[in-house]
Amino acid sequence: MSTTKSKIGSFGGNRHTLTFVVCLCVSIFLWALLKLSKDVFREVSVGVRITNVPTDKFVSPLQKNSMKILVEGNGLSLLRLYAENPSLTIDFNDLQPLGDDRYRLSKTSREKLSNSYLSRFRIRNTISDTLLVKLEKKYTRKVPVLVHLNVNFQREYQLTELKVQPDSISVSGIKSAMDTLQKIDVYIKKKREVKSNFTEIYKPKNTDFVSYGANRIRIEGIVDKVSERVIRVPVELHNVPEGCQIKIFPTEVPVLCTGDLNLLKGLRTEDIHVVADFDQWQEKSTLPLSLTTPKKRIKLRFLNEKSVDFLMKRQ
């Protein structure tokens, strides 16, 4: 009996303690909310991004700038300011040069910043107005776009044409970045087997080191249900040495053509070029063959011979 009474007394004591703790937490929360709702002044340091630099220059990405400013706002806005870590954007034309890559905010720029807002915080004043801005020479050149396909096609279907627009992009940046940028790689992967045309959009992202002259690249894959046709094509001789007479064996080779049936029906021997080029001769008794066609959506490959034998007679 005494044990039961002690448990009841303990429960009653715990209940009073719990009530006290809850009331204390609510009071602290309301007090904090009241404090955070009041306007305060704070000196904060924020990052700076420089825009509209001279067209032949680039702001060195190794140079990071920050500025101390006096802001006004409630405590909730202050918490959001620290969480978001915003930055100021300053026009290069609003800076006054001081020498040695140092610049100062102009009077107009300071007035523009004052009473503007940064992440719901009102900027009241600039504590520091001097920035170190190192400009590097901008290098520009065209860089090709290289598409890497990881695509499987359904049976009897194949990629017959890949259109890339643009197929090269003008890229600008600092020398160290441009020296290593030889191409723009675009990777396309399809989880399912493909039997129809597909389109992908790739958006190059500007960085602190390089900027791209195009904001999107369109890749279109033309997929056809394919048939096959074999055409015998005569071999063309190019760059025959002067004063030499050449005989090749064989004089024509079979070429396997794959593509849409309607396109294959209209394909002529004259549309296919099999070339034996003496500029590719490597002191052997054979000449390698190359295979081209101006026709779109047709794929070619040698059925048997990839080279021809030849006899050379000097005149």
Name the pLDDT band for 94 (thresholds 50, 70, 90): confident
Contact between 95 and 109 under an 8 Å Cβ cutoff? The reply is yes
Average pLDDT, rounded, for the chain: 82
Q: What is the DSSP string of the chain?
A: -HHHHHHHHHHHHHHHHHHHHHHHHHHHHHHHHHHHHSEEEEEEEEEEEEES--TTEEE-TT--EEEEEEEEEEHHHHHHHHHH--EEEEEGGGEEEEETTEEEE-HHHHHHHTT-EETTEEEEEES--EEE--EEE-EEEEEEEEEEEE--B-TTEEEEEEEEESSEEEEEE-HHHHHH---EEEEEE-SS-B-S-EEEEE-----SSEEES-S-EEEEEEEEEEEEEEEEEEEEEESPPTTEEEEEESSEEEEEEEEEHHHHHT--GGG-EEEEEGGG--SSSEEEEEEE-S-TTEEEEESS-SEEEEEEEE-
pLDDT of 48: 80
Q: In this structure, which topology does domain 227-314 adopt according to CATH? A: RNA Polymerase Alpha Subunit; Chain A, domain 2 (2.170.120)
Name the pLDDT band for 182 (thresholds 50, 70, 90): very high
30-44, 50-64, 295-309: range with lowest mean pLDDT: 30-44
Residue 302, both tokens? 């040698």
Top pLDDT among 31 and 183 is at 183
Q: Where are the domains of the chain?
A: 39-136, 139-224, 227-314
pLDDT of 11: 44
Does the pLDDT value for residue 38 go beyond 80? no
Those residues whose C-beta lies under 8 Å from the C-beta of residue 68, and which sit 6 or more positions away, are: 43, 44, 45, 126, 127, 128
pLDDT tens-digit series, residues 135-171: 888 899 999 999 999 999 998 898 989 999 999 999 9
139-224 matches 227-314 in fold: yes
139-224 CATH, one of 3.30.70.100, 3.90.79.10, 2.170.120.40, 3.30.360.10? 2.170.120.40
96-110, 118-132, 259-273: range with lowest mean pLDDT: 118-132
pTM of the model: 0.61
pLDDT of 80: 63
Does the pLDDT value for residue 58 go beyond 70? yes
Closest of 110, 140, 137, 135 to residue 125, by C-alpha = 110
Name the pLDDT band for 90 (thresholds 50, 70, 90): confident
Top pLDDT among 5 and 127 is at 127
What is the average per-residue pLDDT within 26-38? 53
pLDDT of 135: 85
pLDDT of 203: 95
Top pLDDT among 51 and 20 is at 51
Top pLDDT among 233 and 208 is at 233
